Amino acid sequence: MTLDFFTDIAFLAGAIAFVWGLRLLSSPDTARRGNIIAGLGMGIAILAAMFQPMGTVPNNYLWIVGGMVVGGIAGWISARKVQMTAMPQMVSIFNGLGGACAVVLASAELYYFYDGQTALSMGELLILYLALLIGAVAFTGSMLAFAKLQGLVNDRKVTLPYHNILNLIMLAVLLGLTVYALMQGKAFGFNMAMLILALGLIYGFSFVAPIGGADMPVVISLLNSFSGLSAASAGFAYDSRIMIVGGILVGASGTILTILMCEAMNRSLLNVLIGGFGSSGKAGPAGAAGDQVAKEVSLTDAAIQLFYSNSVVIVPGYGLAVAQAQMVVKELDALLEANGVNVKYGIHPVAGRMPGHMNVLLAEADIPYDKLLDLDAANEALAQADIAVVVGANDVVNPAAETDPSSPIYGMPVLQVWKAKNVIVLKRSMNPGYAGIQNPLFFMDNTRMLFGDAKDTLNKLVQEIKNM
């Protein structure tokens, strides 16, 4: 029995743990165990990589352990400290770092090749360039996504005129240069390889730049799948099966989420990537709004309506996250439930800025997940509900998606809040949402508006109900 045997078994165990862990992660009752199993698999794989026999090599264990301690502590602390409302940003950063790691590996290997220390076939060279480019796009793309989510840059201020055409040209140049590099072999030179890297990094920024707001969940899922694919390519280069398995699984899960997000908006991926809704044909349904007046409701009336209803469906949107109002929502929920009101939540798949954003926020406020209804279940509940309370959501409750073929969001599945007997919309002002689309919901007969900051308004509602 050699050490080889044990490390190979360990890698196999790690790969199985990844698959098994992801399987468990897809069901609410087992998800936590799934994450722990995948984490253990990673631990085993890292140990195996450290002791896998490689002939006589210097090992440099001190450097390796040092790096792991630094990275481990940094990662663990930021994971513990981050606020739940900042979760999309955190996930973006971690994702970007994985991509950056693949870039570092590919750069090192390319350096050895052009320096004459190693010989590579064209296929092996192609794999290194794939790891380099996909990793670069995942890295800078995620960093820009982070900056956007954190509010450091404005969605609209980072685009250039003809941005999509520029992006296409850049992509074509990148691919052309890469093909040229493959044909040139060693003559291409390391400096040119770094030029490709630089272009790839710029492309990552540029590719995410025009995408923002409600399209964020799509781009985050897509970047997630990229970081997986870059890890898998690096795995090919290092002949490491576990890297291939891990990377491809991530690529698959990112792809599935991307598809789900696109379906939830009834748009193709291409449509999301070039030209968000804001820029294309927003003038469509303008006529509807002009002469109509939205009806307001007083806090007291809203409180009375809620108090005497039998069933309430709350529909949260990004505005809830911005106002950090999840705890007050829970308070309102508890108060109403104590008075015999049945409270549920209608969650649209693309509400918020990452897949499942609303679920995480409401879970933080201790709201049990069985009260959170997905699109179909929520629409059933809404048809029976006395009151629908819309908190900081707009496009996902827009009836124009069903009724107005000229609307840019026509065809997108929405939460049919208007089917409830009454609708109360909590909103900061009458400004249209991210997409810049007028929402006829606000002018419907059974809709009442409650203007103000969501958290503030909810707090006052809670007070009113307490005083009854």
Residue 227: how many other CB atoms lie within 10 Å: 29
Assess contact for 249 and 21: CB atoms under 8 A.
no
Q: Which runs of consecutive H residues, i.e. helices, occur in 385-453?
A: 400-403
- Quick check: is 395 catalytic? yes
H or E element in which residue 426 lies: strand 422-427
C-beta closer to other proteins: residue 43 or 405: 43
Residue 451 pairs in a beta bridge with: 427
Q: How far apart are CA 394 and CA 351, in angstroms?
A: 9
Q: What is the CA radius of gyration of the chain?
A: 25
C-beta closer to other proteins: residue 182 or 274: 182
Closest CB 136 distance from other proteins, rounded Å? 13
C-beta closer to other proteins: residue 11 or 207: 11
C-beta closer to other proteins: residue 104 or 322: 104
Catalytic entry in 301, 395, 445, 456? 395
C-beta closer to other proteins: residue 63 or 308: 63
Q: How much of the chain is in helix, strand and coil states, percent to nearest 5? A: 65, 5, 30
Closest CB 343 distance from other proteins, rounded Å? 9
Which of these, 72, 193, 201, lies nearest to 136 by C-alpha position? 201
Closest CB 212 distance from other proteins, rounded Å? 19
Assess contact for 325 and 391: CB atoms under 8 A.
yes
Closest CB 428 distance from other proteins, rounded Å? 25
Closest CB 321 distance from other proteins, rounded Å? 12
Assess contact for 391 and 314: CB atoms under 8 A.
yes
C-beta closer to other proteins: residue 19 or 192: 19
Closest CB 29 distance from other proteins, rounded Å? 9
> One-letter amino acid identity for 187?
A
Distances (CA, A) of 237 to 42, 230, 231, 463: 19, 11, 10, 62
172: tokens are 């074509």
Closest CB 466 distance from other proteins, rounded Å? 18
At 339, is the secondary structure helix, strand, or coil? coil
Assess contact for 189 and 104: CB atoms under 8 A.
no
Helix orientation angle between 357-364 and 326-338, rounded to the nearest 10 degrees: 60
C-beta closer to other proteins: residue 195 or 252: 252
Assess contact for 237 and 129: CB atoms under 8 A.
no
> One-letter amino acid identity for 271?
N
Residues noted as catalytic: 395
